[in-house]
Structure 1
Amino acid sequence: MHVVVRPAQQLWLFLPPRRRREEIVVPYDGSASLGHVVQSLGVPLTEVAPPAVDGAPSEVTRRPHEAAVIELEPPPRPQPLPDGARFLLDVHLGSLARRLRLLGVDTAYDNPADDDELVERAGRERRVLLTQDRGLLMRRTLRAGAYVRGHGADAQLADVLDRFAPPLAPWTRCSACNGELARVPKDEVVDLLEPGTRRCYERFSRCRTCGRVYWRGAHGRRLDAVVADALRTRPS
């Protein structure tokens, strides 16, 4: 027994090289669900739209018939988020987390967290887990997740913004803890500043959660460029 799988080229990165082609014949025992067939190829279900079987949409819990033709496409972009733009990033995406927070996107990140903790937290806080770990996305208890494409934070940020089109509110979140920032008078934070900062800057914000103080320092131009690029290239 067998089924025929036709994966879109955008999904080939999840397939072993020998299976990166337009049509794959897959041995089938007659009892596995459609979702199991898809994941047995290395493709997480988070990375496919509802599959089509013989041209008709099908639930991943159903069992395909002998010689069924299964068509796989990536989710449409931008992809709706039922609980809003709330993300949790794994340990390897710290730079991406800081960029998302810079843009005001609600982004949780905990460096020591292991896989079980990530899956549990994502479900408890109703966040989309962003990762480049395909095995993590195949966890049965994971409520919502997504594979982040690209090497380097700039490419990864572009992928997340293109896939989910989250609302952006630059300069409103703490890059360290994800807390909300609030404008504060200089005299309220002056004792926390270095002498050079006191002399050169007048406008400050402070995190409502961790108390960290922010100002537009020498690094401001680089961060301005990140923000401007995100606002310019986000989907219309």
Structure 2
Amino acid sequence: MEKPQIWLSFAPELHVFVAAGKRSGRSAVRTDGVSTLGHVVESLGVPLTEAGALLVDGRQVPPSHIPADGDEVSVLGVARPQPLAGPPRFLLDVHLGTLARRLRLLGVDAAYESVDIGDPALATRSAAEQRVLLSRDRGLLRRRELWAGAYVYSHRPPEQLRDVLSRFAPPLAPWTRCTACNGTLREAAKESLHERLEHGTERAYDAFAQCTECGQVYWRGAHHASLNAIVEESVREFGPHAARPAGGPSAP
């Protein structure tokens, strides 16, 4: 008995995941007659985290749908902004440290693993803490334990940041999180930081902020201008920001 044949087309933004022969228009795919549409889509290279609506003959179906012979299937990209239950919270894998720091700079809750703890542990943490796992590892994004996940399309941090902000539209509150540990910042009096500051820093600056979790101290140092440029560009494109503590996370 001949296996069912379906006709598949992918949204342009998903072409990065599929073989060249399946990037233009509709293409024929043989199925085994028992696998779900979600399994078929993933077997062709597209993580379900990146697939939006699945349409069969123009009708939306769940990933559990079993495709039948002759089905016309359209795989759309995710809607932007992508809705989530509550404000987005993220977990980034070991390769996305710069993106994690930039998200924290904007006040976005971004947990980050600075060492490779393995795919199962990352997926388990995503589920336990209800965090969106951000990664460029397609295999990791296929793990069933994930609470939610998203592929980071670019290698370049500025483009990565724009991608995440446009996809999830997290509320921005620049200068309110520690870029080192993701904790929250509070204003700190210079007198209380005497033992933590070098003499030159203490003499040159008056406004400081300190992390309530790890104790890291921040002030508007040499890198403030470049960090502020990131903040201003992001706020201009993706939304207003809250008032920042006087120090701002410029230089530890």
Superposed pair shares fold, TM > 0.5: yes
1:136 correspondence with 2:147 = no
Structure 2: unaligned runs, 5 residues or longer = 241-252
Alignment TM-score, normalising by the size of structure 1: 0.97
Bigger fraction of residues in helix = 1
Matched letter for residue 107 of structure 1: A
The DSSP-based 3-state class of the residue aligned with 1:51 is strand
Identity among equivalent pairs (%): 50
Name 2:83's counterpart in structure 1: 80
Q: Is the 8 A contact 1:87 1:106 kept in 2?
A: yes
Q: Is the 8 A contact 1:162 1:235 kept in 2?
A: no
CA distance, structure 1, for counterparts of residue 54 and residue 76 of structure 2? 7
Following superposition, the deviation at residue 17 of structure 1 comes to 2.3
Kindly report which structure 2 residues correspond to 1:151-230, keeping only aligned pairs within 5 A, or say none.
151-230=155-234
Following superposition, the deviation at residue 48 of structure 1 comes to 1.1
Instruction: Tell me the alpha carbon deviations over residues 155-175 of structure 1, each in whole angstroms, 9 at most, x when there is no partner.
Output: 100100111110000000000
Instruction: Tell me the alpha carbon deviations over residues 127-162 of structure 1, each in whole angstroms, 9 at most, x when there is no partner.
Output: 000001111111122120001121211110010011
The DSSP-based 3-state class of the residue aligned with 1:119 is helix
Following superposition, the deviation at residue 63 of structure 1 comes to 0.4
1:145 correspondence with 2:113 = no
Q: Is the 8 A contact 1:6 1:24 kept in 2?
A: yes
Name 2:247's counterpart in structure 1: none
Instruction: Tell me the alpha carbon deviations over residues 52-99 of structure 1, each in whole angstroms, 9 at most, x when there is no partner.
Output: 101000011110111101101111111112132100001110000000
CA distance, structure 1, for counterparts of residue 147 and residue 53 of structure 2? 16
Q: Which runs of 4+ in 1 moved over 6 A?
A: none
CA distance, structure 2, for counterparts of residue 102 and residue 161 of structure 1? 13
Q: Is the 8 A contact 1:89 1:131 kept in 2?
A: yes
CA distance, structure 2, for counterparts of residue 64 and residue 122 of structure 1? 30
Matched letter for residue 203 of structure 2: R
CA distance, structure 2, for counterparts of residue 7 and residue 57 of structure 1? 14
The DSSP-based 3-state class of the residue aligned with 2:95 is helix
Following superposition, the deviation at residue 179 of structure 1 comes to 0.3
Specify whether residues 142 and 68 from structure 1 end up closer, same or farther in structure 2 by C-alpha distance, changes over 3 A only: same
When the two chains are superposed, the root-mean-square deviation of aligned CA atoms in Å is 1.2
Specify whether residues 12 and 101 from structure 1 end up closer, same or farther in structure 2 by C-alpha distance, changes over 3 A only: same
Instruction: Tell me the alpha carbon deviations over residues 189-232 of structure 1, each in whole angstroms, 9 at most, x when there is no partner.
Output: 12101111011100111100000001111100000000001011
Name 1:111's counterpart in structure 2: 114
